[in-house]
Amino acid sequence: DIQMTQSPASLSASLGETVTIECRASEDIYNGLAWYQQKPGKSPQLLIYNANSLHTGVPSRFSGSGSGTQYSLKINSLQSEDVASYFCQQYYDYPYTFGAGTKLELK
């Protein structure tokens, strides 16, 4: 199985700040990567797919980048509604696997 190592596990940031979350795959996943946002008590929501494609309706302050084994999610100008947990997922190879998640809080 491909292991996804996500960092940091938790993050505290101020409103308006830029935040970056990273995911490292145990082997090349050829951009087969998605990012999800999950608010407490809610289902996850797709933000980014194919490493850098913004899902429909997702604000443009979210962006994804990376290649090979290293990927990142960037949130520009942090808003209060961005407080959530974030997960990466590889879908290059079965079984699909998720990172352990990053909990983003406001400072």
Partner 1 sequence: EVKLVESGGGLVQPGRSLKLSCAASGFNFNDYWMGWVRQAPGKGLEWIGEINKDSSTINYTPSLKDKFTISRDNAQNTLYLQMSKLGSEDTAIYYCARDHLGAVDYWGQGVMVTVSS
The residues with which 89 forms a beta bridge, in sequence order, are 34, 98
Residues 62-91 that bind partner 1 (CB under 8 A): 87, 89, 91
CA distance 53 to 64: 7
Q: Based on the shown chain and the rule CB under 8 A, indicate whether residue 95 belongs to the binding site for partner 1.
A: yes
Number of amino acids touching partner 1 (CB under 8 A):
23
The label of the residue with tokens 């008590």 reads: 41
Q: How far is the CB of 19 from partner 1 (least distance, A)?
A: 19
User: Any idea how long the chain is?
Assistant: 107
Binding residues (CB under 8 A) for partner 1: these are: 1, 32, 34, 36, 43-46, 49-50, 55, 87, 89, 91-92, 94-101
